[in-house]
């Protein structure tokens, strides 16, 4: 039996909470995975990530292959040891980053691009992506797919689906560690629901340990993302985790959980934190705004993160951001990561209680009130 | 009786270990005070500073008066509350920073300079420095002195001593919180031992709660610093803490402890950390050097800091520095701060054991071996 199992524990409408088992431990879903692009969640220690309640972190194949190189990481014991994260890790395929590079060449064989660090020409193929991900050793690895840009005409979207499916088979053939690394397939098809459907059905036939919905968070907006996810999620098997890639804002996550999504990743909480944008129960605020100059309250009085429970005031954070102190990024990141984890914890509890829609409504009502 | 007492517990040669009591707790000496220029020790949380073993932190009057302003900090409950450090704090007088500004005007009345943040002309006088420091509310505040540059002729050094003594009297008159803020006087006199001696004797007559040796770490070098400290420290009363300002490297600290110094501050451990320079039992190393690219060992295998005991390898830190990840500064700072505190812990233990010189010799022998 595979080490990778997914068991639904409770449902509320189409929202579900469950347990995903991996070689590095169990993951309660729905969950949010902080992004550690270069084998580090920006501005925080693994201990701070752990204390935020995060169960899984994501790292980027593209960045790590270029620097420091997957061979070095493998030699040093793999990505878990290297970045000192003993929980589950997911690596992306590198495709998403590569497709957005200037001058990238996409062929059936794979993708060629210029290494941004030294200018050399690099090729990324399904085989090479899996080779890198096998060396890194994450618990979940992602198929090398063609992420269709937005907007795309139907022909381009169709090509994306065809390549994604062909490349997936090559990924599966190349995959050297199926016993301890789960290879997830990715549903593409842009905004064309019939393409999404065809792609999903083909993927499901391959009986993969998990499925992702890709080609979202590429500029299509909340409504389109919802439409795609609502339509696609139910096409995926109940007993496998469903991962919505690169999403998103709190309202996006809650909508997607309502459609039956289990896993999320996004740079928003960490990236926003570094530009002083922090999430509160009453919406997002920008700590550099002068209204917080003398504000003695914590970022969010209802939050239990190290920054809020530690008594750091908005005025202090305002000062730290103005003074360009590294601690500003640290504390804001600690807060935002905890905000996202609390959101998922509360979603799980609401699903277990059978009242997910009510929770979502109340959360959004208060969240919108601060605006 | 004053809340500020200093009691020697043991001596070894002229080195001494003791306890300095403050409104925010006891301080075991000799101790090193990390610098939190802008009310934050750069790149680390107060919790990380605490875990390093630091007992006192230093903050800069000049920087905090300009931004965010001492009035704001006072309104928010004082510096301890503002920066969430519940242990003792020491503030400098602002003089040291101001004297190094371009176009500064020094008169008997005080010092005029351009505010680097908005270009306005600001005046710092003994009265104003104490007013700011009273508002900030640190446990130890420093007299506004004239820090003689190096090198200086005897006349300039003499003027510095005269001003320092005159300004000290004005500081004492202006001091509004002698019951809970200890005002330390500062010995100036540059490299002229007879001036140092005259200055020290005048200060001691004022029966202050503590004394500092200033005008060092201004380019005079290890030998001169030693000569000044060795001569000056014994002129200060045994039952008051002695603070050597702005010093220094591990070898400087150990020499000064040997002359009877109790308190140190310096930006070296934090500043060096941010440029990848870290201290080990076998000397200082630079983590960006390519020899550490594949090095699986922690920074210092004998260290118990969060970075070393947490298993972060030199190779990982090398990668983080190359990738410009904030975590590089965090982990290197955590390590360097702990290195300095362990150095002081071991110095205290050696003094208690009556074997300080032997400890110093052995430490420097191993420390020099890595070079």
- Please check the confidence at residue B6 and state whether its pLDDT lies above 70: yes
Q: Considering only alpha carbons, which residue of chain A is nearest residue B333?
A: A326
Cβ separation A76–B313 shorter than 8 A: yes
Q: Which chain A residues are within 8 Å of B315, Cβ to Cβ? A: 68, 72, 76, 82
The mean per-residue pLDDT over the stretch B38-46 comes to 98
Give the C-alpha separation, B252 to B248, whole Å. 6
Residue A320 at interface with chain B, using a CB cutoff of 8 Å: yes
B262 a catalytic residue: no
Look up residue B257 and give its two tokens.
Answer: 């402890």
Nearest chain A residue to B274 by CA: give it: A326
Q: What is the pLDDT of residue A2?
A: 83
A326 to B322: CB separation less than 8 angstroms, yes or no: no
**Over the stretch B72-90, which tens digit does the pLDDT of each residue have?**
999 999 999 999 999 999 9
Q: Which residues of A touch B335 (CB under 8 A)?
A: none
Structural domain boundaries of chain B? 5-266, 276-361
Percentage, residues of chain A above pLDDT 90: 95
Q: Would you call A322 an interface residue with chain B, using a CB distance cutoff of 8 Å?
A: yes
Task: Give the closest-approach CA distance of B235 to chain A in angstroms.
Answer: 40
In eight-state DSSP terms, residue B249 is S
pLDDT confidence of residue A309: 98
Query: Which residue in the list A238, A265, A295, A304 is annotated as catalytic?
Result: A265
Q: Are A79 and A139 in contact (CB under 8 A)?
A: no
Checking if the pLDDT of B371 tops 60, the result is no
- The answer to whether residue B302 scores a pLDDT higher than 80 is yes
Q: pLDDT per residue over B187-235, tens digit each?
A: 999 999 999 999 999 999 999 999 999 999 999 999 999 999 999 999 9
Q: Answer for the pair B108, B159: CB distance below 8 angstroms, yes or no.
A: no
Which of chain A's residues have a Cβ under 8 Å away from the Cβ of B294? Answer: 72, 75-76
Res B335 pLDDT > 80: yes
Rounded mean pLDDT of B90-119?
Answer: 92
Considering CB atoms only, which of B72, B316, B329 is closest to A82? B316
Query: Could you say which of B139, B252, B265, B300 is catalytic?
Result: B265
CA B99/CA B114 separation, integer angstroms: 12
Task: Indicate the burial class of A114 (C-beta count within 10 angstroms; 0-12, 13-18, 19 or more).
Answer: middle
Is residue B86 annotated as part of the catalytic site, yes or no? no
Distance from the Cα of A11 to chain B's closest Cα (Å) equals 39
Confidence of residue B361 (pLDDT cuts 50, 70, 90): very high
Decide: helix, strand or coil at residue A71: helix
What is the C-alpha separation between B52 and B306, in angstroms, rounded? 9
The pLDDT score that the predictor gives to residue A86 is 98
A329 inside 8 A of chain B by CB: yes
Q: Mutate one of B326, B332, B333 to test the A interface: name it (highest A CB count within 10 A).
A: B326
Average pLDDT over residues B306-316: 98
CA distance A191 to chain B (A): 36
Q: Give yes or no for residue A36 having a pLDDT over 70.
A: yes
The reply to whether residue B47 touches residue A294, judged by beta carbons under 8 angstroms, is no
pLDDT above 60 for A371? no
CB contact under 8 A, B40 and A312: no
Residues of A in contact with B81 (CB under 8 A): 311
Cβ distance A67 to B323 less than 8 Å, yes or no, reads yes
Distance from C-alpha of B18 to C-alpha of A69, rounded to nearest angstrom? 51
Would the pLDDT of A370 be above 70?
no
User: Are A72 and B327 a contacting pair at CB < 8 A?
Assistant: no
HEC-encoded secondary structure of A89-152:
EEECCCHHHHHCCCCCEECCCCEEEECCCCCCEEEECHHHHHHHHHHHCCCEEECCCCCCCCCC
Measure in Å the smallest separation between the Cα of B360 and chain A Cα atoms: 34
Q: Is B179 on the interface with A (CB under 8 A)?
A: no
Q: Shortest CB distance from A38 goes to which of B44, B296, B325?
A: B325
- Report pLDDT for A294: 98
Is the pTM higher than 0.90? yes
Q: Which tokens is A228 given?
A: 């795609």
User: Is B370's pLDDT higher than 90?
Assistant: no
How many Cα neighbours within 13 Å face the side chain of A214?
29
| A315–B43 CB contact, under 8 Å | no
pLDDT at A95 over 70: yes
Averaged over B347-358, what is the pLDDT? 98
B267/A contact by beta carbon, under 8 A: no
Within 8 A of B313 by CB-CB distance, chain A residues are: 76, 82
Catalytic residue, from A92, A145, A262, A300: name it.
Answer: A92
pLDDT of A80 > 60? The answer is yes
Instruction: Please indicate whether, in this complex, the C-beta atoms of A312 and B43 are within 8 angstroms of each other.
Output: no
Contact B293 A75 (CB under 8 A): no
Please give the residue of chain A at the shortest CA–CA distance from B325: A42
A39 touches chain B (CB under 8 A): yes
Q: For an interface test with A, give the residue of B40, B44, B46, B270 to mutate (most A CBs within 10 A).
A: B40
| Nearest Cα residue to B301 out of B310, B291, B290, B289 | B310
Measured between CB atoms, does A75 come within 8 Å of chain B? yes
Tell me the C-alpha distance between A204 and A187, whole Å. 10
Query: Choosing among B299, B316, B322, B332, which should be mutated to test the A contact, i.e. which has the most A CBs within 10 A?
Result: B316
Percent with pLDDT over 70 in chain B: 99
Closest to B184 (Cα-Cα) out of B160, B153, B165, B212? B212
Q: What is the mean pLDDT of chain B?
A: 97
Judged by CB atoms closer than 8 Å, whether chains meet at B45 and A306 is answered as yes
Of the pLDDT bands very low, low, confident and very high (cuts 50, 70, 90), residue A100 is confident
pLDDT, position A272: 98
Q: Is the pLDDT of residue A314 over 90?
A: yes
Confidence (pLDDT) at A1: 61
Q: Which CATH architecture has domain A5-266?
A: Alpha-Beta Barrel (3.20)
Q: Which of B75, B327, B332 to mutate to test the interface with A (most CBs of A within 10 A)?
A: B327
Q: Check residue B117 and give its pLDDT.
A: 87
What is the predicted ipTM? Answer: 0.98
* Residue A352 to residues A6, A8, A338, A342, Cα–Cα distance (Å): 16, 11, 21, 15
- On the question of pLDDT at A176 being above 60, the answer is yes
With a pLDDT cut of 90, the percent of chain B lying above it is: 95
pLDDT greater than 90 at residue B253? yes
B19 in Cβ contact with B7 (< 8 Å)? yes
């Amino acid at each position: 039996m595979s080490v990778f199992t997914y068991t639904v524990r409770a449902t509320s409408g189409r929202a579900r909470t469950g347990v995903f088992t991996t070689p590095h431990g169990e993951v309660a879903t729905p969950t949010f995975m902080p992004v550690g692009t270069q084998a580090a969640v920006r501005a925080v220690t693994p201990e701070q990530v752990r204390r935020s309640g995060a169960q899984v972190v994501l790292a980027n194949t593209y960045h790590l292959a270029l620097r420091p190189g997957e061979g070095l990481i493998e030699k040093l014991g793999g990505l878990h040891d290297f970045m000192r994260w003993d929980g589950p890790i997911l690596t992306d395929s590198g495709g998403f980053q590569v497709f957005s590079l200037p001058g990238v060449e996409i062929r059936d064989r794979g993708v060629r691009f210029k290494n941004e660090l030294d200018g050399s020409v690099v090729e990324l193929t399904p085989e090479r992506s899996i080779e890198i991900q096998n060396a890194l050793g994450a618990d979940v690895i992602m198929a090398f797919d063609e992420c269709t840009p937005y907007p795309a005409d139907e022909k381009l979207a169709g090509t994306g689906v065809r390549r994604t499916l062909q490349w997936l088979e090559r990924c599966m053939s190349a995959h050297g560690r199926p016993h301890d690394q789960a290879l997830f397939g990715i549903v593409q098809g842009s905004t064309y629901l019939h393409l999404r459907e065809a792609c999903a059905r083909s993927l499901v036939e391959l009986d993969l340990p998990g499925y992702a919905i890709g080609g979202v968070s590429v500029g299509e907006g909340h409504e389109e993302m919802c439409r795609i996810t609502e339509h696609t999620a139910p096409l995926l098997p109940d007993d496998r985790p469903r991962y919505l890639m690169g999403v998103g804002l709190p309202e996006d996550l809650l909508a997607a959980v309502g459609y039956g999504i289990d896993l999320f990743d996004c740079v928003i909480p960490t990236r926003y934190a570094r530009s002083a944008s922090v999430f509160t129960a009453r919406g997002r605020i920008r700590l550099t705004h002068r209204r917080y100059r003398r504000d003695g309250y914590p970022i969010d009085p209802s939050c239990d993160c190290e920054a809020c429970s530690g008594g750091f005031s908005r005025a202090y954070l305002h000062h730290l951001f103005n003074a360009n102190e590294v601690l500003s990024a640290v504390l804001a990141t600690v807060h935002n990561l905890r905000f996202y984890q609390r959101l998922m914890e509360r979603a799980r509890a609401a699903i277990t209680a059978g009242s997910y829609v009510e929770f979502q409504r109340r959360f959004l009502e208060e969240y919108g009130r601060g605006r």
